Amino acid sequence: MPLSPEHILRFLERESEPKFKSELLGFLTQRINELCFEECQIDRIACTLQPKCSRRFLLKLRIKNNLTVENLPKFCYSVQKGVIQREFRNKTVVYKPFDSYLFLVDFLDIFFHGDYRKLNRFISFNKWKETFEILEDRINNRDEHFNYLLTGNFFIFKFGDRIHIIYVKEKYSLCNASREYIPNVELLSGLIQLYSSLYFPEVKLNVVPSRYIEITIKIPYEVLLNLKDDRSDQIDSKAGEYFWNVFWEDLDWLTQYCEEVHLQIDSKQNLKIILLLRNQSKRYLSKGKSMSLRFRDLKLIMNFIRRIYNDYYVVWLE
């Protein structure tokens, strides 16, 4: 049997001699540099259309480890920035730039061109009053459409259905977040607050720092009263169709992403759906380790709450 990636992983996990592991990692690093700086960029058409690494993940490797722009393959990075920019401007792109990383200044150049130098300076030095003034001016006086929220370590932006995250201390950004993991409860809480302010503004979140977020959805007794016992009578009822046929399926998949899902009847016979969310899901990897919650997983959960809230007459959430 030839050498496989699994053999290398096992060696790195089990080998007791640091020198051997260091040499092996040195070989891998040298090979990665050859791919990035020589083989891939030598043919710019191929680098643009079919880079050596899937979805340019080796750029992510470098940016997330705080390497400077001088330590990135320049043409490859310029392609990534160009694709994100074209997609933002609704132009044709060779691929959808989901989960793409950029340095802070380049993110601001794309999404806030004209103010990007000032914004880069203000964000870099945590001058939030001046930052918010620029953003509000673009919304109120330049007919730009986006939403934002600052949590402390993360600056969240929503353009249409796309989510972008600035990592404030690290000075880089994640564009078009989708399959990436949500790293902690702080960012998870900020995302939920942003979604709730837009789609179900009465929501009240119970946030236990560094642990979880609790959301309670209340379905009024009057809605439940209209759900007759006979399912055949629900053919023309939108709420009846949903609660008889779809609601339980939704609860089932929610248990895969939420820490806990509870159903309760309160003293006024209202149905309360209680969701406890962490940045870890209830899905598991092959070794029994739970998978982190992804941005697109959270979007599914928010769509569930939005559907309940807007379609089935939920009058408040707590």
The pLDDT value given to residue 235 = 47
Examine the domain organization and report whether 24 and 73 are in the same domain.
no
Domain that holds residue 100: 53-180
Buried b (16+ CB within 10 A) or exposed e, 123-136: beeeeeeebeebbe
Q: In terms of C-beta density within 10 A (0-12 exposed, 13-18 middle, 19 or more buried), how is residue 222 classed?
A: exposed
Examine the domain organization and report whether 200 and 157 are in the same domain.
no
The answer, yes or no, to whether residue 223 has pLDDT greater than 80, is no
Examine the domain organization and report whether 119 and 231 are in the same domain.
no
Examine the domain organization and report whether 211 and 258 are in the same domain.
yes
Number of domains in the chain: 3
Q: What is the DSSP letter of 232?
A: G
- Spatial neighbors of 173 by CB under 8 A, at least 6 apart, are 101, 102, 103, 104, 107, 164, 165, 166, 167
The answer, yes or no, to whether residue 256 has pLDDT greater than 50, is yes
SS3 state at 149: strand
Residue 45 within a domain? no
CB 199 within 8 A of CB 306: yes
Examine the domain organization and report whether 100 and 190 are in the same domain.
no
From 132, 158, 180, the end of a domain falls on 180
From 120, 152, 180, the end of a domain falls on 180
Query: By percentage, how much of the chain surpasses pLDDT 70?
Result: 92
Residue 299 within a domain? yes
The answer, yes or no, to whether residue 7 has pLDDT greater than 90, is yes
Task: Give the mean model confidence (pLDDT) for residues 13-21.
Answer: 92
Dihedrals φ, ψ of 158, to 5°? -125, 115
Residue 256 within a domain? yes
Low-confidence winner among 12-16, 169-173, 199-203 (lowest mean pLDDT): 199-203
Dihedrals φ, ψ of 154, to 5°? -135, 140
Residue 236 within a domain? yes
Strands 154-159 and 162-167 turn out to be: antiparallel
Residue 318 within a domain? no
What is the pLDDT of the chain when averaged over all its residues? 90
Q: In terms of C-beta density within 10 A (0-12 exposed, 13-18 middle, 19 or more buried), how is residue 215 classed?
A: buried
Examine the domain organization and report whether 223 and 286 are in the same domain.
yes
Alpha helices in 200-273, H assignment, sequence order: 221-225, 238-245, 247-257
Which among 20-34, 224-238, 261-275 has the top mean pLDDT? 20-34
Residue 197 tokens read as 């302010």
